[in-house]
Chains A and B, each alone.
Chain A
Amino acid sequence: MDYRVNAAFPVQAVHIFIMIHPMDGKPVPPRLEFRDFTFTYPGRPAPSLRGVSFPLSPGEMAVVSGRNGAGKSTLALAANGTIPHLLHGAASGGVFVDGEPAGTPRELASRVGVVFQDFEAHLVSSSVTLEAAFPLENAGWEQPRQVRRVAELLELVGLSGFGDRVPSELSGGEKQRLAIAAAMAPEPALLVLDEPLTDLDPLGKLQVLETVGRLRGRGVTILMVEHDPQALLAADTLLVLDAGKLAWKGKPAGMLARPEECRALGLPVWAPAEVARAAGLPEGMVTVEEVADGLRGRAHHESAAAPVRMAEAGSGGFMVSATGLSSGYSGGPEVLHGIDLTIRAGECVALLGQNGSGKTTLAKHFTGLLKPRRGELLVRGKQVRGYAQAELSRLVGYVFQNPDHQIFSATVIEEVSFGLHNLGLAEDEIAARASEALRATGLAGHEGEDPFALTRGERQRLAVASLLAYRPEMIIFDEPTTALDAAEAEGMVKFIAGLNAAGTTVLFITHAMWVAAEYAKRAVVMSAGKIVMDGPVGEVFAREAELAKLSLAPPPAAALANRLGLRAVSTSGLMAGLGLVK
C-alpha cells in the first residue's frame, strides 16, 4: 500500500495486538474491513475509490478526510452496502463486516448504523420517540423492549425530555443527534457518519462530538467522514483519501503536525502545528495547550501590540445603518430586539453567533427581504422602505448558504444572465457583465456547461457570479464555506477578501471562526436577537470567557495567542508576535 508517511506503523502494531484475542489467542476479525475495494459510478470515466484497503478494529474511531470528490462519501456508502446494492456501479474487491462479506443495507440494519450527509432525510416520524423507535419496529423488537431502548437512546444522545417534540422543530444539532439515536437503535457495533458536523453551529458541533465520545466509551466502532480539525483530533486513526486512493493512514496528530502534507491532501491546516513547526518545537506537540506550553516565555512582548489589526473604519459613508431595529418573521414573535449597527462602505464584517441568534434575520433586512417592525434602517442614507426591490438588489447582494436553492438554468452563462435580463439591460451589456462575473469567479471557460454537473465549490462560485453581475456595492455571504473542503473554502474567502480590497463592502455570516479571524476586520457577535459584542476581531476573540458563555470559541490561532498573552487572531499575526515570520 501507498503510505506516504510512515507514521502508520505504531497504529498497525496496535491493530495486530487488538486482533489477537487475549484469552484464547484466536484472531478476532476487524469490525469493518475494506479489501482492495474499487468502485466506479455508471457513466464516470474513472473509479471513485481505487484499491482501498484498511481494517477497523472493534472500538476504534477512524475519521476519513480529504478533498471534495476524493471518494469519502462513496466509502461511507460502501460501509453499509448502499454501494453497490442500492447505488449500482462497477465494484471489485470487498467490504467485510465482522469478517463476513457486507450484504444489503437491510441485512446489515442491526449491525451497521448510518447517518448520511443530509440528516433531514433521515427524519421520517412525527415525534422524537417514534423516530428513535422506527428501526426497532422494523426489526420486530418486542414493544416493551422498544420502550426501554428508546429511553436509553434519548439519554445517550442528550435528548431526554424531548420525546414528544416534533423532529422538524428541533435545531440542526438536535436533529443530527436524533438521527444518531435512530441509527444506534438496534445496538449496532459500528456507526458510520458522513460529515455530521457540516451545517451545525459551534454548540451543535460540540454536542454531536460529545455524543460520539459517549458512544466510543461504550465500545462502538466509529467511521466518520469529516474535515473539522476538532473531529480529526478526537480520532484514533485518520484515513486520508486522495483521488479515490487511500493516500495516508495513521494517528491524526501525525498528519496535523505537517502543514505542507495537509495542504497537499486538501486538509485544513492546523494553525498551532504550523506555529510549532516554525518555532522548532518537537513534533508531538499538536493541541493548543501543548503548543502553548512549548512556547511559553518565547513571546516577544515588545512586538505584542503590533500584529493587532484595528478595525478599519471604512473609506466612505454609511452603507447600512440600523437604529433600534426590532423585527421578526410575519405572524411570528419578535426575533430582533433593538439592534444598533452601522456598517461603513468598504468594511469587511463577520457576523457571529449560534443558530437562532438572529444573524440571518438581521442580514435579510439589508436586502429588503424583511422589513423592520420598529426602529430605523437606512441603506446608503435612505430609508429601506423607500427602495423598490430591484433598486435595493443593485446595491446589496445576498449569497445564500446553499447554491442549489437558486440554480435552475441549462447552462452556466444563462444562469449568470438571468438576473440581468430581469433588470432589463441591453444584450451587449448583459454579455459584458456576465463574462466579467465569470472571470472574477474563475468560471470563465465553463459558459456552456450544465450547472448541475459542477462541483459544490463551483456551484457556490456560480451563485456568487450571478450576484456579482449586478455589481452591488455590498455583498452579504451566508455561511460561504459550508460544505466546501479546505482548499475550496480558502479559495472562497480569499476571493471575498479580494472583493473587499477592490472596494465592495462585505458582511459574512459564519460559524467558521478562522474565516472571521483571517479575513474580517470587525466582528459582531449576536445572541438571542441582540448584538452582544462589536469590535475589532482581535478584541472580540480575546474575550474568550465571554465567548465561552455563548458556546463560541476563538479559532486555534487566537486561542493560542490568548494563552501566550499575545494579541493576534491569525496564524501570520501570531507568528509575527512570536518573532517567527516565515
Chain B
Amino acid sequence: MRTSLFVPRSSFLHSLDPRTKLLALAIACTGLLLFDDPLLLLWPALGLLVASALGRVFRRFLAGFLVLGAFGMLAFLLWPLFLTLRGQGGPAAWIYGAGIGMRLTEILLAGFLLMLTTGNEEVLAALARMGLPFPIVFSFGLTFRLLPSLLVTAGHVVEAQRLRGLKFDEGGLVTRARRYVPLLVPILACSLRTARQMSWALEAKGFGPSTRPEEPDSLRAGSAGSSSGRVPYIALRMRARDWAVLAGAAALLGVAVWARFHGIGIVAAAHVF
C-alpha cells in the first residue's frame, strides 16, 4: 500500500531541483489560466506529453490522464449545460466547455507530473529551503507516511468486526453512527500506541521540535527557518538546466501574456461574461 505517486527513475525531469519544478508548475498554471481556446490548448497538451516522456513516466502519465480526464469531461459537459440554462447555448458554448475541460485537465496533469517525478522528501526539502520551519514541513510529510499503516490497521479492524456480525449499512443515522464505535475505538487505540512509539523513535534518532542540545547557538542566521544544524540528504542545487528550464518557462509565460492581450487563444470570455 502506498500513498505516494512518485516513480523513482533517473530522467531529465527527476534530475531537476524540486524548487525549479514547483516554480515551473506555478508558471504553467498561470499560463494555462489565460486561455480557453481548445485548439490553442492542444499545444500545452503536447508539451505535457513530451515532458512526461522526458520524465520517463509516459505510461503512468497516460493512466493518470484517464482518471483526471474525467474531471475535464465533467467540465466539458457541465459548462454548456450551465450556459444553455442562461440562454447562451449553441456551438460556442460547447467550444467554450471543451476549452475549460482541457484547461482543467492540463492543470491537474501538470501537478500529477510533478508528483510522479518528485519524491515527498524533495518537495519537503524545497519547502523547508524556501523558508518553512522543518519540523512543521516534516509533520506534514509524516501525515502522508502514516496513512498507509492507518489504512492497513483499519482494514484488519473492519474484517474482525464484520466477522462478529457488525453491519455497516442498516438502520437510521444515529444507529449507523453508533456502529462506528467498534471500528473507531480499536483504530484509535492502535494509532495512539504507534504514535507514542514513533515519538520515542524520533527522539532516539536525534529529531525534535527544538534546537539540538549540543548546538545551543545554532539558531544563528544561515540556518534560520530549518531545524538547527540539520543537513538534508537530498542536496538541493540549482544547476544550469534548472535556470534554463525556468528561463524557458518565463519566456513562454511572456509570450502567453502577449498573446492574451492581443486576443489570441480566447473564444468565449467576452461572450460569457
Contact = CB atoms under 8 A, between A and B. Distances in A.
B194 A120 contact: yes
Contact of A109 (B4, B141, B204, B229): B204
Contact of A118 (B120, B182, B197): B197
Given A86-B200, A114-B204, A405 B193 contact: no
A323 interface: no
Q: Which of A104, A109, A143 is the most central at the interface, judged by chain B CB atoms within 10 Å of its CB?
A: A109
B182 A418 contact: yes
Chain B at the A interface: mostly helix, strand, loop or mixed?
A: helix
A426 interface: no
B157 interface: yes
B213 A405 contact: no
Interface string B170-213: 00000000000110111001100111011111111111100011
Contact of A130 (B2, B184, B233): B233
B157 to A, nearest CB: 5
B231 A466 contact: no
Interface stretch (B17-25, B45-53, B94-102, B142-150): B142-150
A213 to B, nearest CB: 23
Given A367-B163, A393-B165, A143 B194 contact: no
Nearest to B157: A405
Interface residues of B, number: 60
A219 B119 CA distance: 36
Given A402-B156, A418-B182, A124 B202 contact: yes
A105 B204 contact: yes
Contact of B230 (A138, A182, A419): A138
Q: Which of B181, B186, B204, B232 is the most central at the interface, judged by chain A CB atoms within 10 Å of its CB?
A: B204
B189 A404 contact: yes
A127 B8 contact: yes
Given A138-B205, A138-B212, A138-B227, A146 B186 contact: no
Interface stretch (A161-169, A488-496, A514-522): A161-169
B206 A110 contact: yes
Given A404-B189, A419-B164, A423-B165, A168 B206 contact: no
Contacts of B60: none
B257 interface: no
B92 interface: no
A129 B203 contact: no
Given A86-B199, A422-B167, A405 B231 contact: no
B8 to A, nearest CB: 4
Contacts of A408: 181-182, 184-186, 189
B269 interface: no
A418 B233 contact: no
B205 A134 contact: yes
Given A367-B163, A405-B160, A408-B182, A106 B8 contact: no
A134 B186 CA distance: 30
A121 B198 contact: yes
Given A126-B120, A129-B233, A369 B201 contact: no
Interface string A406-438: 111000000000110011000000000000000
A164 B8 contact: yes
A270 interface: no
A189 interface: no
A128 to B, nearest CB: 10
B3 to A, nearest CB: 8
B164 A82 contact: no
A80 interface: yes
Interface string B238-260: 00000000000000000000000
Contact of B231 (A137, A186, A369): A137
A422 B142 CA distance: 38
A100 to B, nearest CB: 14
Nearest to A116: B197
Nearest to A463: B160
Contacts of A29: none
Given A116-B200, A137-B232, A405-B186, A369 B206 contact: no
Nearest to A185: B205
A54 interface: no
B233 A133 contact: yes
Contact of A135 (B161, B205, B227): B205
Q: Which of A110, A125, A389 is the most central at the interface, judged by chain B CB atoms within 10 Å of its CB?
A: A125
A104 B193 CA distance: 21
A134 B145 contact: no
Interface of B: 1-2, 4, 6, 8, 119-121, 141-142, 144-145, 148-149, 153, 156-157, 159-167, 181-182, 184-186, 189-190, 193-195, 197-208, 212-215, 227, 229-235
21 contacts: A82-B200, A87-B200, A106-B203, A107-B213, A114-B204, A116-B197, A118-B197, A120-B194, A121-B198, A121-B201, A125-B145, A126-B121, A127-B121, A130-B234, A134-B205, A141-B231, A168-B145, A389-B163, A406-B164, A408-B189, A452-B189
- Which 9 residue pairs spanning A and B have beta carbons closest together? A422-B165, A109-B206, A408-B185, A138-B206, A164-B8, A121-B197, A133-B233, A406-B160, A419-B164
